[in-house]
Structure 1
Amino acid sequence: PADFYTRLRSSAVVPTTSQPTPGDFHAAYQELGEYERVYSLHIAGTLSGTVESARAAAAEFGDRIRVVDTETASAAVAMLGLAIQRRLERGTTDEEVEKLVRRHRRESQLIFTLDTLDYLARGGRIGRAAAWAGGLMRVKPILTIRDGEVIPIKRVRGNQRAFQEFIAAFESGSSDGPGLRVAIADADAPDRTEALRELVGRTRPQADLELVATLGPVIGTHAGPGTVGLFWFADE
C-alpha cells in the first residue's frame, strides 16, 4: 500500500477499480466446499457492484453460501466478520447470525475524514457530500456512511479539530466496556492513526481496539491519501 499511495499522490493517471466477476466468486466458493456454511460479506451494494457478482455466483450453491450486503465499507465489514467468527467459535445458528447482521447494519458506526473530496468525486462514490466538492481549501470534511451512502456531517479546519469531532461522536455514540469493539483505518496516514489510537484509549479505556489497518488500494483509490476513519460497534 505504501508504494501505491506514493504513486497516487504524484501520478497524473487516475487509477480505476472494478469488482470481481461472478466467475471469480464461483471459484472462491468452490474452494470453500468443505464448509457447510459460508458467510460472504461485502461492501455496500450502493458503493460497488461486488455484492451482485457474489450473488450471481452463490445462486449455484443453494443455501450454503450466504451473501451479505453489509451496507457499509472498509473496517466495518471486517468487524462484522470478527463478530460472526466469535459466534461460530462458541456455537451459533443461522438465525442468530442473521439477527447480528441486521443489528450491525442499524448500530455500527463510523466517521471519517479526507484530505480532499476529489477522489470520491472522480469515482462517483461521493453521495450527498457532492455539495461540498471543490470548496475545501484547508477544510476537512467529516463524513459517515448510512444505508450505504456517503453522508456529510460537518466541515472543520485542521486535523486537530477533525479529531475533536471524531471523539465527540464516539463519546456520544458509545458506552465504555469490554464489549465495545473499535477499529481505526488510514490511507497512508500512520501518524493520524496513532493520534486517534491515543484519543480512543483515553475516551473509552475499556474498549477493545480489535483492528488497526491500512486501507487497501480499492478503498484508497476512492478516498485518497490522508484519509482516516474510526469505526465502532457494541458486541459481546
Structure 2
Amino acid sequence: MTLAIVTDSTASLPADLASAREVTVVPLEVVVDARSYTEGIDVTPEDLARALRAGRAVSTSRPSPERFARTYADLVDRGAEAIVSIHLSSRVSATFESAQMAAQDCAVPVSCVDSLQVGMATGYAVLSAADARDAGESADDVAKAARDRSERATTYFYVATLEHLRRGGRIGTASALLGSALSVKPILGVQDGQVRPIEKVRTSARAIARLEELTAQAAASHGDRVDVAVQHLDADAQARSLADRLGESLGLSTVDVMEVGAVIGAHVGPGLLAVTVSGRPPVDV
C-alpha cells in the first residue's frame, strides 16, 4: 500500500529534509499589517523578526480545510492509498481541526494525529512516522509511531518578553503581567498541548543556564536515545553556543540548530531560545 505523510510548516522540518523523507508540508499563513504571507514561501523568519521589532501588527492563520482537501486529493492522484496527517497541538492552533474536516471527504482513509506539541517536537514525530512507513508498517502503526514519539518529547523555551504570546492568546494575561514585573525572565514549556509557565528567574543568563539544566534532566529520563534540537528567532549565535554546550554535556555528536518558522516566531518574538528533547523509539532486542 502506498502511504503518504502530511504535516504543517510549524513542524520546523527543513525543506530538503521533508523532500528527502517524502513528507508533504502544508503551510500556515502569517499576516503582517493585514497582508497575508505563506510560511516558507514568501515570508522568512528574518522578515518576521524585522516586522516585530518595527512594531508592525502581526498575526497568524491556519490552513483552511479546503487547503488540506486539495493536498490530500493531489496525493491520491499521485497514488496514495492512505494518508497520515500529523500536526501541531490542537490546543494552540486550529490547524488540526482543518485537517480533520478535510479528512472526512477524502477518497482514501486519512489518520489525523494531534501531536500536542510544537516545533521540532512535532517534527521528530513526523520523522518517526516516516521511518515506520519506510519499514512497511500499516497506516495505523505509522500514526501510532507519531503519537508515541510525541509523548516522549519535552520542550522548554525562553522568551525575551511574554507580550507576543499574550497578544496571540497563547498564554494568560496574568502570567504575562507577572513575567514582565521586576524584569523577571520566564521559562515556559509545552504541557498537555499548551504553553505553560515553568519557572521565573531574574536574568537572561540564568534563564539560559536553567534551560541547560532542564534539558539535562529531560535527556536523562530517556537514557541515551534522544534527539535534541535548539531553535531560535533572530538569536543564531546564542543558539549555536547553547547547542555546543548541550552536545558536550550530554555526550551527543549532533544537536540540531534551526530558526523557528515565521508562524511560531510571530507568537514568541525575537530572542527566543527553545530546546526540544525527543526520546527515540525503543530498540527491539
Is TM-score (shorter-chain normalized) higher than 0.5?
yes
Quote the sequence identity (%): 30
Matched residue type, 1:133: A
2:153 equivalent to 1:111: no
- Residue 26 (structure 1) shift: 0.6
| In 1: Cα distance, 2:67 partner to 2:209 partner | 42
Aligned residues: CA RMSD? 1.9
- Residue 208 (structure 1) shift: 4.5
Query: What does residue 269 of structure 2 align with?
Result: 224
2:226 equivalent to 1:180: yes
Q: Which runs of 4+ in 1 moved over 4 A?
A: none
| In 2: Cα distance, 1:91 partner to 1:14 partner | 46
2:237 equivalent to 1:194: no
| In 1: Cα distance, 2:203 partner to 2:108 partner | 49
Query: What does residue 157 of structure 1 align with?
Result: 202
Give the number of aligned pairs.
Answer: 231
Change (3 A) 1:98 1:45: same
| In 1: Cα distance, 2:261 partner to 2:106 partner | 29
Structure 1 counterpart SS, 2:59? coil
Change (3 A) 1:190 1:205: same
Matched residue type, 1:197: A
Query: What does residue 214 of structure 1 align with?
Result: 259
Query: What does residue 8 of structure 1 align with?
Result: 52
- Residue 63 (structure 1) shift: 5.4
| In 1: Cα distance, 2:175 partner to 2:210 partner | 18
- Residue 139 (structure 1) shift: 2.7
More displaced, 62-71 or 216-225? Answer: 62-71
Matched residue type, 1:205: G
2:142 equivalent to 1:71: no
CA contact (8 A) 1:37 1:65 kept: yes
Query: What does residue 175 of structure 2 align with?
Result: 132
CA contact (8 A) 2:89 2:115 kept: yes
| In 2: Cα distance, 1:147 partner to 1:100 partner | 18
2:192 equivalent to 1:147: yes
Query: What does residue 25 of structure 1 align with?
Result: 68
| In 2: Cα distance, 1:208 partner to 1:173 partner | 17
Query: What does residue 81 of structure 1 align with?
Result: 126
Aligned counterpart in structure 2 of residue 203 of structure 1, from 225, 249, 270: 249
- Residue 140 (structure 1) shift: 1.7
Structure 1 counterpart SS, 2:60? coil
Matched residue type, 2:97: E
Matched residue type, 2:116: E
| In 1: Cα distance, 2:84 partner to 2:54 partner | 39
CA contact (8 A) 1:185 1:212 kept: yes
Normalised TM-score (structure 1): 0.90
Structure 2 counterpart SS, 1:16? strand
- Residue 207 (structure 1) shift: 5.9
| In 1: Cα distance, 2:254 partner to 2:241 partner | 17
Query: What does residue 39 of structure 2 align with?
Result: none
| In 1: Cα distance, 2:228 partner to 2:67 partner | 31
| In 1: Cα distance, 2:245 partner to 2:121 partner | 19
Structure 2 unpaired stretches of 5+: 1-44
- Residue 90 (structure 1) shift: 2.7
More displaced, 75-84 or 136-145? Answer: 136-145
Structure 2 counterpart SS, 1:51? helix
Matched residue type, 1:82: L
| In 1: Cα distance, 2:166 partner to 2:105 partner | 36
| In 1: Cα distance, 2:92 partner to 2:103 partner | 20
